[in-house]
Amino acid sequence: MKIRKIETNIKRNLYLHSSEISFSPLPSSLESNIIRIYPEYHFQSLLGFGGAITESAGYAFHSLSKDLQDEVIKECFSPNGLNYVLCRLPIGSCDFSIQSYSYSYQENLSDFSVKHDLKYMIPTIKAAQKENSSLSFLASPWSPPAFMKSNHRLSNGGKLLDNYKKVWANYLVKYIKSYQELGIPIDYMTIQNEPNAKQPWESCHYTAEEEANLLKYEIYPVFRKYNLKTKFLIWDHNKDNILTRSTDILLKYHCLNEVAGIAFHWYTGGHFENLQLLSHLFPNQLLLHTEGCTGYSHFRPSDELFNAEMYAYEIIEDFNHGVHGFIDWNILLDYHGGPNHTKNYCNSPIMISKKKDNYIKTPAFYYISHISRYAKPNAKRIHFSKFSDNICVTSFQNPDKSVMIVLLNKTDKSIEYNLCYQNKTFHDNLDSHAIVTWIIDEV
C-alpha cells in the first residue's frame, strides 16, 4: 500500500509539494485526534470540475503568445493541471463580455448568427477541446435580446414578454444547433443565469412559475422536436433560496420530467443544509455548482489566501452535502480582473501579467487543484469521521480504487491528527492555513 502526501503551504513556499510516507499498524488503544476513512460506504458520483470560457476569458487568452496559450490550456484542462472536464459558456453576452450583444435583432430570427463568438470564445473553446476531446459543455443565457423584453434592454432585469416565449425557445435551439455545427455539443443548459437578480449587466427576471412554464411548455417541447439531447438545469442562482425555488419548480409546477438537475452559485454564503436536503428529496437530480468567484468586487480583494481557502471550503462542503460537480467562473482574466464591459471585475485561478508576457497562478489555483486534480470523474464520495470541526475533510474513491482525502486547516494553529484507514494509521501535523491531499493506492 502506497500513500502520497501533496501539500500547499504558502508561508512555507510549498505548492502541491509531493512526498511519500508509510502506514503503521493501527493499535487498538488509539482513540485521540482521529480522522477515519470508510471506503466501503459510498455516496454520490463525481461529475467533475470545470470553469467558464467567457468572451473576457477568450480575450485574455488571445493576448498571450501561442506558447503561453498552450501552457494555460494545459494548466486548466490537462490531468496535471486543474483537470477540468466541464466548461460553462454564456449564451450571448454577459458581464464578462467586451460589449453587450445578441445573436439576432429580428423578430423572425432571420439574421441569427454566432459569428460574434468566433473572434475570442470559440477559438479558446477549440483549444480546450484539443487538450481534452471529451469536455462537457453547459450553456447559460444572461438575457434574451432586448426586443423580446419588457424593459427593451439586455441589462437591469426586465421580463421575457409572453408573445416572445416561442421565439426565445427557437433562438435557444438555433444557438445549440450552431454550436453543434462547430463541433461544440451543449450537454447541459440552465434556463436563466441568476433569475432572481436585477443586475446592471445582462439579466432577466423569472418567478418559479415563469421559469417552470417556459421550460415545460416552450423550451423542452421545441428541443425535443429537433431531437436535441441537451439536459436542463434550473435555478442557477444562490443557495439561500435554492430549496423553495427547486421544490416549487419540480413539484408544485410539475417539472420533474423536464429537469435533469439544479444549478447554484455561492455568493450568499454556505446554506449547505439546503443542498443536503435537496440531495435527499431528489436523488436523481444533478446538483451542480455553476459559478463562484472572489477578488476585486467580492469578499476580500487583497487577501489571496482567504480567497483560496474560500474555494476549498466551498468545494469540500458542497461535496459533503451531495453535490456532483463544481464549475468555477472565468478560467483566466487580465491583470485588472477583466476585461468587463460593466467594470464588475473579479479574479480567477489564472491571471495575465500586466505586460501580457506571462501569467500568474493565484493561490486559488493550487487549492482547487488539491481536489480537482486528484478526485477523478466518476469517483465516489466515501464516508469519513473526524475529531474536530477545525479541520475540513472530504474523501473519494476513484474508479481505479485509489482513495483521495483532502484536509483543510483555515485556523491560525497547527493541528495534530491520526489518519486511520482500514487497519492502518499514520500521524501527521496539519499546519495552520495549509491544505493537504492524501492519495492511498493499494496496488
Element (DSSP H or E) covering residue 258: none
Q: Alpha helix (H) ranges present in 226-377?
A: 242-247, 272-281, 304-320, 363-372
Cell of 44: 454520490
Establish whether 291 is a catalytic residue.
yes
Q: Quick check: helix, strand or coil at residue 374?
A: coil
| Closest C-alpha to 226, from 173, 168, 188, 187 | 173
Measured CA to CA, the distance from residue 176 to residue 150 in angstroms comes to 25
Measured CA to CA, the distance from residue 15 to residue 263 in angstroms comes to 31
Measured CA to CA, the distance from residue 415 to residue 334 in angstroms comes to 37
| Closest C-alpha to 52, from 103, 113, 121 | 121
Q: Kindly list the strands in the beta sheet with 434-441, ordered across the sheet, starting from the edge strand earlier in the chain.
A: 14-21, 2-9, 434-441, 403-409, 391-397, 380-386, 34-45, 415-421, 424-430, 24-25
Q: Which of 7, 218, 291, 314 is catalytic?
A: 291
Measured CA to CA, the distance from residue 362 to residue 20 in angstroms comes to 26
Quote the DSSP letter at residue 280.
Answer: H
Q: Which of 194, 210, 258, 314 is catalytic?
A: 194
Establish whether 194 is a catalytic residue.
yes
Number of C-beta neighbours around residue 61 at 10 A: 27
Quote the DSSP letter at residue 46.
Answer: P
Q: Hey, which residues are catalytic here?
A: 194, 291
